Each structure stands twice: as structure tokens, then as C-alpha cells.
Structure 1
């Protein structure tokens, strides 16, 4: 029976387990970052589309001509 002889294997096991846990955490973090980047891209595109549709609504005359006035051709 040796004193302190088996301690190294236990530490190595802890280090390997910690390394696997860190690897899983890193993988999960990178996947989450990828999802966030995709969501940001989608939101950016969606906001541009909404802004474009709003701009087209505000720039296009939709009002009917007042009674008694001639309507001017648009475009």
C-alpha cells in the first residue's frame, strides 16, 4: 500500500471530465452565437423590408382628388 500513489489518476480523471465539460460548453456557446447571428440577420432584413414598405406607402400618393379639381397624372 503506497501513500499518495493513486492520487494522480483521480486528478487526471477530473481534468478529462472538466475538459469534456468545457468542450461541450464551448460547442453550445458557439451554436448559440450562430443562432443569434442568424436571428440578427433575419431581424435586419425584416426591418429593412418594413422600412421599405413604409417608405413606399408614404411616398406614393393615395389620396383621392378633391371634388372640382382635376387630378394630375402621377409618374
Structure 2
């Protein structure tokens, strides 16, 4: 089975349109690099997730990475 060049690049290549919105998010995140600061709601979700990870690791007797512990100690 062979794919044409446009089919292998997804529907946006076949239609010739530029992708905007949620589909473009990975490329946009990659373009901004690792130094981009998350928005306050995203940061709150990250802190809450880190707290859950610390609690789960504690209950399962697993070691939690120091970066996760540091994030979990931040204020919401």
C-alpha cells in the first residue's frame, strides 16, 4: 500500500489549507520553546497534578522526582 505525498502529511496538506486552532497547538508549543511560562490556570493544574503524584507515590512506596516534589510545594 502506498500513500501519496499529500495523504501522508494529513488532511491539511491534501486541502492546501493551513491548520489553525487545537490542531496547530503542538507546532505552536514547539516554536515557543521550553522557556514559555504556562498561564495561571495551567500552572494550577500542574501543581494539583504534582500533589496527586506525590500522594500516589507515597501510597505505593515509590520515589518521587525532586522536580515533582518542588512543584507540589508551590501555592495554588
TM norm. shorter chain > 0.5: no
Higher relative contact order (CA 8 A, sep 6+): 2
Task: Pick the structure with more helix per residue.
Answer: 1
